[in-house]
Amino acid sequence: EDQVTQSPEALRLQEGESSSLNCSYTVSGLRGLFWYRQDPGKGPEFLFTLYSAGEEKEKERLKATLTKKESFLHITAPKPEDSATYLCAVQGGGSEKLVFGKGTKLTVNP
């Protein structure tokens, strides 16, 4: 059974304090690992898709990396507007479904 575990559950940072969020996964035949951002009361917003170990993608202050067992979302010099819940999901071979982690709630204080 495909599984996704995200850590920590919650993270508080000061503005400018860089850190990383972790997504550990087990999946049969990874087709894709997805990162989403979700603001309170809204639907998840797509950030990145990673397909193979060693792949990296960047968007503004965010950088996602992938190994065979986990993915990291690195946040460099975060700003208060980066505060949100970050969700990780995997898609296994032969399936149209995503399996989601429970998310990391990030708070960035000014």
Partner 1 sequence: DVKVTQSSRYLVKRTGEKVFLECVQDMDHENMFWYRQDPGLGLRLIYFSYDVKMKEKGDIPEGYSVSREKKERFSLILESASTNQTSMYLCASSSPGAQETQYFGPGTRLLVL
| Of the candidate residues 101, 104, 106, 108, the single one contacting partner 1 (CB under 8 A) | 101
77 Cβ contact partners less than 8 Å away, ≥ 6 residues apart: 15, 16, 18, 61
Q: Does 94 bind partner 1 (CB under 8 A)?
A: no
Choice from 19, 22, 24, 49 touching partner 1 (CB under 8 A): 49
Window contacting partner 1 (CB under 8 A); options: 18-26, 54-62, 68-76, 101-109: 101-109
The verdict on 91 binding partner 1 (CB under 8 A) reads: yes
Q: What phi-psi label fits residue 41: left (phi over 0), alpha (psi between -120 and 50 degrees) or beta? A: left
Residues 23-42 binding partner 1 (CB under 8 A) are 31-32, 34, 36, 41-42
